[in-house]
Structure 1
Amino acid sequence: MKKILVLTAAISGVFAPIASAAEEVNVYSYRQPFLVEPMFDEFTKQTGITVNVKFSKTGLAEKLVQEGEYSPADVVLTTDISRLVELSTKKVVQPVQDKTINDNVPAQYRDSEGEWFALTLRARNVYSSRDRVGKLASDFDYKDLTKPEYKGKICTRSGKHPYNVSLVASMVAHYGEAEAKTWLEGVKANLARKPQGNDRAQVKAIKEGLCDIALGNSYYLGKMVNDPKQTAWAESVYINFPGQETTGTHVNVSGMAMAKHSPNHANALKLMQFLTGEKAQQMYAEVNYEYPVKEGVKRSELVASWGDFKADTLPLEKIAENHAVAVKLLDETKFDL
């Protein structure tokens, strides 16, 4: 049994029934419409299979539990490794063993039992002020965030946010609980302010001079570059990839799973194969500035301009096993207070 503390949100909204037919496939999605609908349109164009989608920000796992064997869901799309593992923990998905999918998704980015698969990667990078810090050294590591020179200069969102919980879990997996706690205490001591806001807010804080260094997911930089109201924020920072001479940069994922009671199993499998294939992976890369999980797929021009980096090779499944410990350490260090 996978050991993980799953923090779930309350169900928001009521899902209307989704029709099921021989040439349809039903999707429950945390991913936003602008990102996935073009891919679904392309899938329908290629296969003739209609994709019915219900979008939600919270509560999909709970919804699947409530619906049980009567659920119309075939495929679940979600963000973050913790939400993928939550689906397995709540036993609302089924294993998929498919050569096409396994060939497209490296082993470290999928469940060993086939219950979930990553679709895209997002690096947990460090932003630095162009004016006050410059580009960080190539050997910069997450551990360096505790150095005295960064006292009062670091910004981050809540430690309890899934992106940061996963990062802490990776530190536990690599260095053990005691060392990870010491690291958390050191990072907290160097914070410029109480953890708050989202990843973009941290870059804004650098622009405004509130801090010089910030944790953030890589794809937000792409979004800010192309948002006229936030372009100046993006232009105020360098993107840095920690751990290039140690464990590699921590990456999180968006992913998919097949619902346990999928009424359209064959069509669901076709959709999952398509989402890991060349066409869909390229669309992910261009629209949301994420890294394709399928090796060899071209990154967007903007993402490619950030340069190559070594990603942490530790299986996400292993990192997820340490989420409960990570949350405990965040509580013990009173990181958000």
Structure 2
Amino acid sequence: MLLAACGKTPPATAGAQAAGAAPATAGEVNLYTTREPGLVQPLLDAFTAQTGIKVNTVMLRDGLTERLAAEGERSPADVLMTVDTGRLLDVVEAGYTQPIDSAVLNSAIPANLRSAEGQWFALSLRDRVVYADKDLDLSGFTYEDLADEKWKGRVCIRSGQHPYNTSLFAAMIAHNGAQATENWLAAVKGNLARKAAGGDRDVARDILAGICDIGIANAYYVGRMKNAEPGSEQRAWGDAIQVVRPVFAADNGGTHVNISGAAVARHAPNRDNAVKLLEYLVGDEAQSLYARANYEYPVKPGVALDPVVASFGEMTIDPLPLAQVVANRKLASELVDKVGFDN
């Protein structure tokens, strides 16, 4: 992992095969992932136990596209796994993936959460929600409502340039247009209780401290906070808030989601095993593991949720195709700077 973090290919015994190494065997698959090791390893262990296929894993904090460019056609990568739709599509658009036609994947994953050409697939969902003081009544809340003057000095959020937020703002552009989104961003900035900074869990911390009443953050952090050690800071933060799933008011929109997702590498030496891994990850067992271990929302309908996540209520996922949202990322980032959101 240290070698991977430095951008060097580790020996086959320590992870993925080195570029140009001996031909791959039928019993392995090489995974390049930017996900935290603790979040994916239980899933990979379960896959190996079920199939006998060994997963050689290279963890990369960043530099995935640079790594693939350097390795070229001799890259040992079979599966590319990332967090954030934009980062996954960056890999696709750079030409480092190949199309997969799998009936299993197509039936398990709704069409708006995968590539129409089979180039990428969502594996789990991260809904962007409202954290709120537990005594507030926010039934029927929309993302557009964050701009209402009644929330002046009452809203907390992390940097507008963070990928979690640019993804949400890009979806706002897709629903409402650029000018309306610019106006909305300016109004939300005017409602901030503090500078847009910190992390998602800081929103819960600051609601407990009385700095703000509501804020935007990812739902899965609440699972971690509410299941933290009793008496710990994080448990106190989680116990101080409720989760409300807003929807977009326009176009009968739903709750905005970002994803963890994966694709099959363009030059995958173990292509069949790569497909098997992706198909396993959308099966009931793996989807349940995503829900229980990571507090993420399953991409496959009907999978049992973690009790904390289930307590948030039913989620209507925004029907916009994620590729359409991602197309607005650059404009969303420009609007964040234009209104001085992080200043």
Q: Same fold (TM over 0.5)?
A: yes
The answer to whether the 8 A contact 1:79-1:255 is kept is yes
Counterpart secondary structure, 1:195: coil
The answer to whether the 8 A contact 1:128-1:135 is kept is no
Report the equivalent of 1:85.
89
- Establish whether residue 164 from structure 1 lines up as the match of residue 157 from structure 2: no
Report the equivalent of 1:206.
207
Q: How far apart, CA to CA, are the structure 2 residues paired with 1:69 and 1:176?
A: 41
Q: How far apart, CA to CA, are the structure 1 residues paired with 2:207 and 2:91?
A: 36
- 1:241-256 alignment runs, 5 A limit: 241-243=245-247, 246-256=252-262
Paired residues, number:
324
In structure 2, runs of 5+ residues without a counterpart are 18-23
After TM superposition, the runs of 4+ consecutive aligned structure 1 residues lying more than 3 A away are none
Aligned-partner residue type, residue 38 of structure 1: P
Cα offset, 1:289, TM superposition: 0.6
Q: How far apart, CA to CA, are the structure 2 residues paired with 1:105 and 1:248?
A: 17
Q: How far apart, CA to CA, are the structure 2 residues paired with 1:56 and 1:216?
A: 25
In structure 1, runs of 5+ residues without a counterpart are 1-10
Counterpart secondary structure, 1:25: strand
Q: Could you list the per-position Cα deviations for residues 239-267 of structure 1 after superposition, in whole angstroms to 9, with x for gaps in the alignment? A: 01112764211111110111111111111
Report the equivalent of 1:328.
334
The answer to whether the 8 A contact 2:120-2:261 is kept is yes
Cα offset, 1:296, TM superposition: 1.2
The answer to whether the 8 A contact 1:139-1:244 is kept is no
Q: How far apart, CA to CA, are the structure 2 residues paired with 1:194 and 1:273?
A: 43
- Establish whether residue 310 from structure 1 lines up as the match of residue 316 from structure 2: yes
Cα offset, 1:31, TM superposition: 1.5
Q: How far apart, CA to CA, are the structure 1 residues paired with 2:62 and 2:269?
A: 23
Aligned-partner residue type, residue 292 of structure 1: P
Report the equivalent of 1:216.
217
Q: How far apart, CA to CA, are the structure 1 residues paired with 2:78 and 2:279?
A: 13
Cα offset, 1:301, TM superposition: 1.7
Report the equivalent of 2:192.
191
- Establish whether residue 104 from structure 1 lines up as the match of residue 97 from structure 2: no
Of residues 45, 65, 68, the one that matches 2:49 is: 45
Report the equivalent of 1:61.
65
For the aligned residues, what is the CA RMSD?
A: 1.4
Fraction of identical pairs, as percent: 46
Report the equivalent of 1:6.
none
Q: Could you list the per-position Cα deviations for residues 160-182 of structure 1 after superposition, in whole angstroms to 9, with x for gaps in the alignment? A: 11110010000000011110110
Relative to the length of structure 1, the TM-score reads 0.93
Counterpart secondary structure, 1:143: helix
The answer to whether the 8 A contact 2:143-2:248 is kept is no
- Establish whether residue 14 from structure 1 lines up as the match of residue 7 from structure 2: yes
Report the equivalent of 2:21.
none
The answer to whether the 8 A contact 1:39-1:283 is kept is yes
Relative to the length of structure 2, the TM-score reads 0.91
Aligned-partner residue type, residue 207 of structure 1: L
The answer to whether the 8 A contact 1:65-1:90 is kept is no
